Chains A and B, each alone.
Chain A
Amino acid sequence: EAQVTQNPRYLITVTGKKLTVTCSQNMNHEYMSWYRQDPGLGLRQIYYSMNVEVTDKGDVPEGYKVSRKEKRNFPLILESPSPNQTSLYFCASSPTRTKTMFFGSGTQLSVL
């Protein structure tokens, strides 16, 4: 089944403890991205990647890191999480030029 897989679905952590949210897609998509969803703000792009080893900042990149060492994987790294990073996170992928985005199931992160 074609899908974008995010893990974990729920995560509670404490301020300053490094964490990684994994994202993997099995559709051989070139483009991958991360969004965060906050009440009253909709979804905002954090980082995106056009292909392996090509990443760039989105609209709200502060406090996040990403890497794209393989085409299928695009992990989101929070080196030192803070409470303002409590949010619902989505990974998404798409084949270029089709403009059809596939979303993962979301990761609800709470930073205490």
Chain B
Amino acid sequence: AQTVTQSQPEMSVQEAETVTLSCTYDTSENNYYLFWYKQPPSRQMILVIRQEAYKQQNATENRFSVNFQKAAKSFSLKISDSQLGDTAMYFCAFMKHGDTDKLIFGTGTRLQVFP
């Protein structure tokens, strides 16, 4: 069975600084997808970034980028130029390649951006 581990329950960063959230996963699969979701106080689940395991190039979306290390089963999220609106819970998630789109989530990291 696949598992996702987020070892940082809480983190904080000053506005305009850079922060990295950690995520490791365990799987015997070779084809899979990894995601970071943001959950602000509104509770909405917002997709931040997605990585396909067969792609070696790290995904980027504006200020958000990942460091995907397939051999180490590590998938960290880097937020550059942090903004107050980045304050949220961040979830790392795994999805096996196949017919069912089942997401397996980590326990989340609560990020606080302060002025």
User: A: which residues have CB within 8 A of B?
Assistant: 31, 33, 35, 40-45, 48, 50, 58, 88, 90, 92, 94, 96, 99-101, 103, 105-106, 108
Contact with A along B1-35 (1 / 0, CB 8 A): 00010000000000000000000000000000100
Question: Which residues of B72-111 have CB atoms within 8 Å of chain A's CB atoms?
Answer: 91, 93, 95, 99-103, 105-108
Q: By the criterion CB–CB under 8 Å, are A103 and B44 in contact?
A: yes
Selected contact of B33 from candidates A90, A99, A108, CB within 8 Å: A99
Which chain B residues border A48 with CB–CB below 8 Å? 100-102
Selected contact of A45 from candidates B42, B91, B102, CB within 8 Å: B102
Q: By the criterion CB–CB under 8 Å, are A31 and B107 in contact?
A: no
- 24 A–B contacts, CB within 8 A, in A order: A31-B101, A33-B101, A33-B102, A35-B103, A40-B107, A42-B105, A42-B107, A42-B108, A43-B103, A44-B105, A45-B102, A48-B100, A48-B101, A48-B102, A50-B99, A50-B100, A88-B43, A92-B103, A96-B101, A101-B101, A103-B45, A105-B42, A105-B43, A106-B43
Question: Cα distance A44–B101 when bound, in Å?
Answer: 13
Q: By the criterion CB–CB under 8 Å, are B108 and A100 in contact?
A: no
Which chain A residues border B105 with CB–CB below 8 Å? 42-44
Q: By the criterion CB–CB under 8 Å, are B47 and A101 in contact?
A: yes
Known: A42-B91, A50-B100, A99-B95. A106 touches B44 (CB 8 A): yes
Closest CB of chain A to B107's CB: distance in Å?
5
Known: A41-B107, A42-B91. A99 touches B44 (CB 8 A): no
Question: Cα distance A41–B91 when bound, in Å?
Answer: 11
Which chain A residues border B107 with CB–CB below 8 Å? 40-42
Which chain A residues border B45 with CB–CB below 8 Å? 90, 92, 103, 106
Which chain B residues border A103 with CB–CB below 8 Å? 44-45
Closest CB of chain A to B17's CB: distance in Å?
26
Which chain B residues border A35 with CB–CB below 8 Å? 103
Which chain B residues border A94 with CB–CB below 8 Å? 101
